[in-house]
Chain A
């Protein structure tokens, strides 16, 4: 069983899970970001016949988390499907698995740039963004926002170690926001030093790199170029 790490944002205690998800115990809320379901078939459509099991693999990992946390509410932070027609290409078995999830939990799909329209027949609710009294959940971070949980950037960080470097997907956090790593099986990453991410953390912050059983934490400053 992997060890989730607690952090605090806007006075709320949130658990960062090494699987790349976040759990908010006080409200029994599980957040995952950038599932990019049906990325394989999206590429296949354009001539790159990637192995077709990416949705299956992503849902397997999500199922593990649902069993672990039994959340009351699940939020998918946007780009849940790799493209607008993604949900129509779901193989029957996978569609049924998603429906079972959205039946068993309150399930909120947040709109992303890859999936600007509501998915077809997958159940759950479709919203642009979602806010509780303390926290705001949206796909892409907004400059100057506060108490915000977002995804979109697929952050990853490379840690120099012993003359080499180890690169992993990561959470990026400061006192105002958390950017989630991408959860999908085929989702690559963007280095946190890239301006698109770095400019959201003008006063520094921390990264939590995903490990097999735990997270590894570093300050953003130690990475910054």
Chain B
């Protein structure tokens, strides 16, 4: 690597002057990026946040255009966030204006007006900033070839956040296309520090890697309550007074929480304590976009003292002036914690300050493990999974919409995208067949095929109408059915506040109160798919929760927690209450080991409990719970329900579970899994996403813009029919592949079962162990269901209402069967919670 002095000569004089005028000097990695550009090499820049990464990505483009001004598209910049693209464009204007460079810069996102979009196609700017979705639309247009032919570089920002996701698959396919259209184009990836740099390098296709060492290590501390540590709960609201103190003592704080529901609750808890009425705002993904933009603008302008935020603020531009980050609740992963911590003090030479606030005693262990992980810089993240076949289907139709193609050429091009490097020709052909005619064994749709092949074997889209329809449906983000929330005053039309999930709306009766957008709202009515509500109200408010709002604990952090538990010499790190708790566990039962699996069984009341200390994260535990209860049913233990946390799985049953090792046998992943998966709501949800992305089900149909977010047909019904008649259909294969890594986390279960084979330690106890207390306290807080459970829930609801209305006598109490309805209380991610205390709100 060249020395900065040696390279300083390569930067044009006006740039040197500009840097000096800012009081900066070009950083080593910024110069290295210039060097890579001069060598014509594709490059991956890995640098911590605050490292001037974005400028490093653009510097070669600015220099090149300053030296040789030209018309047409030079650099394409792709960001995962629309807002980021807009902000970067604004920041980039500064050096361009200061130095009066002959460089035109524009953004193009879903929000760009149609006339500007049309102009951009005729006369593209030198630098176009966009998102993966907008790029996919551009590439599906007939003039894609001419628009991109002269492209010199494509810059992929926050590439670590895209690789391994469906949006990342889409981007990789688009970039492979760009490389066909403009073979001389350089790829530039900008990434935060990652666990798998080789995989990110392959994703970018970089010939060179420029790494900027991490800046000053962050200054992390843990904030513990004065009294006893909570045994359970994840909201951490009792910490609000201490969080408020820290906010008061600092300039600007971001309070990160893990779910949107937690954000709402924490925001309100803080405002109740906000005597000096400090400007404290709320930011999460379900709030109206304008509302979020206002909060971000206020942050950037330094007008706020604190923002309570979810992962909606994990990425994005430097807000500047953030003095500290407070993470309330479990950090879940080292990388995630680092990303969040990096939001404070976005300057490399100063330590970022962050405070961790565990919400319960297990989270104390997790916070401690995460701090050690940060110290050791042990990042987490699984190596990226293979690209999704649904994304490929969308992409192939897009290609055909742009221009006819030969299948061999496109297969070779697709395989050049890293996520599809190992794509088999059969899968490719099956996906293409799906796009062409649905790929059904019953060749029913020959008349309506979307593609046709000409005499030379080139694939064409059948009609311009199909192409238009396709472009309306490009994108890989599929949202759950959402309903807008509108605040209505006396005159019916008030502002939109954001969106909540449909299931939550079904729980609301007129007069019910709920917390949303930092307000206490009273439900009035559902009108044309909009929830209308008024401010204020009485009664216990509910808090809407969202699918997928919670991330599971990473494998890496779980290992660290296990390691801490196993090693009593490390317990000194913990507060006294936690130490005592662990010592007691050791005396009463034993500690979970690093490579074994501790399973405790004990009676309590008239039930038996089985607690397995798997540490594989909630998603995996949930799947495991479903599978184990099936086996326990067969073994005659009469399981009654289960609850899953990030750390353990707890199952309760009427009979004593005995042969525990057999329960955990690897063959669990055979037939049981197949039967359960087929019926599982998670697979249905996964299928819905796959079907929408692959274009089987359209989100938007010309002339039917009313139901924008809602898919036009019920995907569950389609799933049932397809599963019955063609179980090996390409979309069902894609669904199973997705589910294995996603909601069901099968890969983690499989890994665990292999690891613990022959190493299951079964402790038969006479009563609950200290370590099992938290999971027992979780019981009843949350519940989920399978298809069968739905029937039980309906039966129970029917019986309760009949009793209440006097239509039926209540059944006589049973002894020995505690749960007489037989309804399993099973873990549901993101359960709605009723607050126990009456809530009063500021300003209401």
- Selected from A44, A163, A185, the residue in CB contact (under 8 A) with B445 is A44
Give the Cβ gap from B214 to chain A, nearest Cβ, in Å. 44
The verdict on B278 contacting chain A, using a C-beta distance below 8 Å, is no
Closest residue to B797 on the A side, CB-wise?
Answer: A161
Contact yes or no, A49 B783, CB < 8 A:
no
Instruction: Please indicate the chain A residues that have their CB under 8 angstroms from the CB of B118 in the complex.
Output: none
The verdict on A100 contacting chain B, using a C-beta distance below 8 Å, is no
Contact yes or no, B713 A51, CB < 8 A:
no
The verdict on A80 contacting chain B, using a C-beta distance below 8 Å, is no
Contact yes or no, B793 A162, CB < 8 A:
yes
> A188 vs B713: C-alpha distance in the bound complex, in angstroms?
7
Kindly name the residue among B438, B508, B695 whose own CB sees the greatest number of chain A CB atoms within 10 A: B438
The verdict on B726 contacting chain A, using a C-beta distance below 8 Å, is yes
Give the Cβ gap from A81 to chain B, nearest Cβ, in Å. 16
Interface residues of A in 189-225 (CB under 8 A from B): 193, 209, 211-213, 216-219, 222, 225
Question: Which of A27-35, A119-127, A141-149, A165-173 binds B?
Answer: A165-173
Contact yes or no, A47 B444, CB < 8 A:
no
Kindly name the residue among A57, A162, A217 whose own CB sees the greatest number of chain B CB atoms within 10 A: A162
Contact yes or no, B713 A164, CB < 8 A:
no
Instruction: Please indicate the chain A residues that have their CB under 8 angstroms from the CB of B526 in the complex.
Output: 193, 225
- Selected from B465, B525, B698, the residue in CB contact (under 8 A) with A48 is B698
Contact yes or no, B510 A225, CB < 8 A:
yes
Instruction: Given A47-B465, A51-B725, answer yes or no on A91-B444 (Cβ-Cβ < 8 Å).
Output: yes
Instruction: Given A186-B713, A225-B526, answer yes or no on A49-B445 (Cβ-Cβ < 8 Å).
Output: yes
Contact yes or no, B717 A222, CB < 8 A:
no
Contact yes or no, A163 B450, CB < 8 A:
no
The verdict on B721 contacting chain A, using a C-beta distance below 8 Å, is yes
Instruction: Please indicate the chain B residues that have their CB under 8 angstroms from the CB of A211 in the complex.
Output: 791, 794
> A165 vs B784: C-alpha distance in the bound complex, in angstroms?
11
Interface residues of B in 762-805 (CB under 8 A from A): 783-785, 790-791, 793-798, 801, 805
B side interface size, CB within 8 A: 57
Contact yes or no, B717 A186, CB < 8 A:
yes
Number of cross-chain contacts by CB at 8 Å: 138
Contact yes or no, A48 B697, CB < 8 A:
yes
Interface residues of B in 471-518 (CB under 8 A from A): 503, 506-510
Contact with B along A15-45 (1 / 0, CB 8 A): 0000000000000000000000000110111
The verdict on B823 contacting chain A, using a C-beta distance below 8 Å, is yes
Instruction: Given A49-B696, A51-B722, A188-B714, answer yes or no on A41-B445 (Cβ-Cβ < 8 Å).
Output: yes
Contact yes or no, B790 A166, CB < 8 A:
yes
Give the Cβ gap from B15 to chain A, nearest Cβ, in Å. 51
Instruction: Please indicate the chain A residues that have their CB under 8 angstroms from the CB of B823 in the complex.
Output: 162
- Selected from A50, A160, A209, the residue in CB contact (under 8 A) with B713 is A50
Instruction: Please indicate the chain B residues that have their CB under 8 angstroms from the CB of A91 in the complex.
Output: 442, 444
Instruction: Given A43-B713, A225-B509, answer yes or no on A166-B793 (Cβ-Cβ < 8 Å).
Output: yes
Closest residue to A45 on the B side, CB-wise?
Answer: B448
The verdict on A84 contacting chain B, using a C-beta distance below 8 Å, is no
Instruction: Given A164-B785, A186-B713, answer yes or no on A212-B791 (Cβ-Cβ < 8 Å).
Output: yes
- Selected from A49, A56, A222, the residue in CB contact (under 8 A) with B450 is A49
Kindly name the residue among A43, A163, A186 whose own CB sees the greatest number of chain B CB atoms within 10 A: A163
Give the Cβ gap from B439 to chain A, nearest Cβ, in Å. 8
Contact yes or no, A47 B440, CB < 8 A:
no
Instruction: Given A56-B725, A225-B510, answer yes or no on A51-B718 (Cβ-Cβ < 8 Å).
Output: yes
The verdict on A187 contacting chain B, using a C-beta distance below 8 Å, is yes
- Selected from B438, B503, B507, B720, the residue in CB contact (under 8 A) with A49 is B438
The verdict on A83 contacting chain B, using a C-beta distance below 8 Å, is no
Closest residue to A210 on the B side, CB-wise?
Answer: B794
Contact with A along B439-474 (1 / 0, CB 8 A): 010101101101000000000000001100100000
Contact yes or no, A185 B717, CB < 8 A:
yes
Give the Cβ gap from B643 to chain A, nearest Cβ, in Å. 13
Contact yes or no, A53 B445, CB < 8 A:
no
Contact yes or no, B725 A160, CB < 8 A:
no
The verdict on A62 contacting chain B, using a C-beta distance below 8 Å, is no
Contact yes or no, A54 B507, CB < 8 A:
no
The verdict on B630 contacting chain A, using a C-beta distance below 8 Å, is no
- Selected from A50, A187, A193, A209, the residue in CB contact (under 8 A) with B794 is A209
Instruction: Given A49-B445, A166-B793, A211-B791, answer yes or no on A54-B721 (Cβ-Cβ < 8 Å).
Output: yes
Give the Cβ gap from A191 to chain B, nearest Cβ, in Å. 8
The verdict on A3 contacting chain B, using a C-beta distance below 8 Å, is no
Instruction: Please indicate the chain A residues that have their CB under 8 angstroms from the CB of B713 in the complex.
Output: 43, 48, 50, 186, 188
> A163 vs B450: C-alpha distance in the bound complex, in angstroms?
44
Contact yes or no, B714 A186, CB < 8 A:
yes
Contact yes or no, B724 A57, CB < 8 A:
yes
The verdict on B832 contacting chain A, using a C-beta distance below 8 Å, is yes
> A44 vs B823: C-alpha distance in the bound complex, in angstroms?
41
Interface residues of B in 49-108 (CB under 8 A from A): none
The verdict on B291 contacting chain A, using a C-beta distance below 8 Å, is no
Contact yes or no, B794 A166, CB < 8 A:
yes
> A201 vs B260: C-alpha distance in the bound complex, in angstroms?
38
Apart from A57-B720, A168-B794, A218-B798: 19 A-B pairs, beta carbons within 8 A: A41-B444, A47-B450, A47-B466, A51-B440, A51-B721, A53-B721, A53-B724, A53-B725, A54-B721, A56-B725, A161-B796, A164-B783, A164-B785, A164-B832, A166-B785, A187-B717, A188-B714, A212-B791, A216-B797
Binding site for B on A (CB under 8 A): 40-41, 43-54, 56-57, 91, 158-168, 185-188, 193, 209, 211-213, 216-219, 222, 225
| Listed A/B pairs (17) with beta-carbon separation below 8 Å | A44-B438, A47-B466, A48-B695, A49-B437, A50-B697, A51-B718, A51-B721, A53-B442, A53-B721, A53-B725, A162-B796, A163-B834, A165-B507, A188-B714, A212-B791, A219-B801, A225-B525
